[in-house]
Amino acid sequence: MNHSSPKKYHVKSFGCQMNVYDGERMAEMMAAQGLSAADSADDADLVILNTCHIREKAAEKVYSDIGRLKREDGSRPMIAVAGCVAQAEGGEIARRAPTVDIVVGPQAYHRLPELVEQAKGGKRALDTDMPAISKFDHLPARAKQARPGAFLTVQEGCDKFCTYCVVPYTRGAEISRPWGDIVREAHALVEGGTREITLLGQNVNAWTGDDEAGRGQGLDGLIRALAKIDGLERIRYTTSHPNDMSDGLIAAHGEVDKLMPFLHLPVQAGSDRVLKAMNRSHTVESYLKLIERVRAVRPDIAISGDFIVGFPGESDAEFEETLGLVRDVDYAMAYSFKYSPRPGTPAADMDGQISANVMDERLQRLQNLLNEQQARFNAATVGRQCAVLLERTGKLPGQLIGKSPWLQSVIVNDSAAAIGDLVHVEIASAGPNSLIANLIRKAA
Ligand code: SAH
Ligand code: SF4
Ligand code: F3S
């Protein structure tokens, strides 16, 4: 189908925070091309579906979304499929969904403007290359945006090859963005009004690079440097792999005030046999030891994790070990998933695939336990005072919602403050997913 030059774009991102970040960069690129942002896909003449391939449900969603883009008069916008499904399925997408005009992988989206040109002529455009040159060198500089909390991707890709996971195939090998680029982007964000930066990477704590003086640094060195930026109040990072939790990074949690007391450290399972079959290269004991060390330097740290239930061959007893590990750690929050076989990964061909019923029951039991722990963690903050960075308005008039240092959502009532303020509050009550607080004073 021939399209005229698109004037309004809409980006819809699925999946992890890195995809959200990529979605923002794609939007900024379209804005730099002179397009304006549409509030919804219905109002756009270019729709970018920024997809996720991590589990089957996520990956299949894109096809129903594409179907829904058809308008009543039979017309449709120009459709681009970006993200990890684009990388994993490539040309297959066009076969399954002939209305797709552009397929662009996560390492190639800097070429979107050219691909749009190509698609205008009615020619389907595909780019799933993983070029050695970085897309970041070809993207427009970060647009100024008054956003209290922002993401900043510092590391991409994964070399770990957990046997269930598509990320090493969809995002390619581990690379670290250069120090100078990251520091520059952080400054630009802070100048635009950002006060909290979350450093992102599939294995963010594997980040390495050379500082201005040419000294080799790890993520902790980068965090210490960013902490010196005036106006930047808070730093977070996600997601980390247990094997890349360096001594320096652990120490930083006890020493860098701006580094928030929150650690997302996925473990996946509580049985050493299962962890080995997953190719996780850490044990239950080594994981628990890490948690203990982080808590020794930062006793109030909130621990979060990811879990997979029903990995091929997981026995009842092995699943019980996962519950045991959860009890030992006592999580502030966590994500848990049913194992989803992914095409091309080793685990998809393993013996002992677990039935849907068993997986459902295990997930239910695990989530009950995790929810109890989260509720207890939240309840323990009642009566405490803490700083909250206000990020958006709440449902009721006068309400503002922000994040506690421990990444809980906090609703601040009757606030004389504004979005972007870092305020001091006292937590008045706690629900399972959020806290309610009273304003004490505006902080810095
Ligand atoms: N790099 C991060 C997270 C990657 S994906 C890490 O290693 O921790 C986010 C989470 O999705 C994983 O931690 C895992 O719990 C889950 N996940 C990945 N592949 C999956 C699959 N095939 N089935 C179910 N859950 C999966
Ligand atoms: Fe996937 Fe494992 Fe890499 Fe995480 S570490 S992205 S789970 S392969
Ligand atoms: Fe999904 Fe790709 Fe992220 S598969 S979780 S969008 S890296």
State the distance from the centre of ligand 3 to the C-alpha of 255, rounded, in angstroms: 32
List, chain by chain if needed, residues with CB within 6 Å of any ligand 1 atom: 54-55, 158, 164-165, 167, 202-203, 239, 241, 266, 268, 306, 308, 337, 339-340, 342
Tens of pLDDT, residue by residue over 378-404, are: 999 999 999 999 999 998 888 999 999
Asked if residues 432 and 378 have their Cβ atoms less than 8 Å apart, the reply is: yes
To the nearest whole number, what is the mean pLDDT of the chain? 94
pLDDT at 415: 67
What does the chain come to in residues? 444
Rounded mean pLDDT of 18-32? 95
Choose which residue among 51, 167, 203 to substitute to test ligand 3 binding: the one with the highest number of ligand atoms within 8 A of its C-beta.
Answer: 167
Please report which confidence band the pLDDT of residue 64 belongs to, taking 50, 70 and 90 as the band edges.
very high
pLDDT tens, residue by residue, 357-367: 999 999 999 99
- Return the percent helix, strand and coil in the chain, to nearest 5: 35, 25, 40
Top mutation candidate among 275, 303, 306, 354 for ligand 1, by most atoms within 8 Å of CB: 306
Buried b (16+ CB within 10 A) or exposed e, 406-444: bbbbbbbeebebebbbbbbbebeebeeebbbbebeeeee
Q: Give residues with Cβ within 8 angstroms of 257, minimum separation 6.
A: 227
Mean pLDDT score, 151-164: 96
Average pLDDT over residues 154-168: 97
The structure tokens listed for 155 are 């590391």
* pLDDT reading at 63 higher than 80: yes
Dihedral angle computed from the Cα positions of residues 265, 270, 274 and 277, in that order, rounded to the nearest 10 degrees: 20
pLDDT(252) > 60: yes
For residue 248, what are the CA distances in angstroms to 87, 160, 217, 253, 379? Answer: 35, 21, 10, 9, 32
Tell me what the mean pLDDT of segment 347-353 comes to.
97
In short, whether 171's Cβ falls inside 6 Å of ligand 3 is yes
Mean pLDDT score, 232-251: 98
**With 80 as the cut, is the pLDDT of residue 333 above it?**
yes
Local confidence band at 375 (pLDDT 50, 70, 90 cut-offs): very high
Give me the domains of the chain, ranges plus CATH numbers.
Answer: 8-127 (3.40.50.12160), 135-380 (3.80.30.20), 385-442 (2.40.50.140)
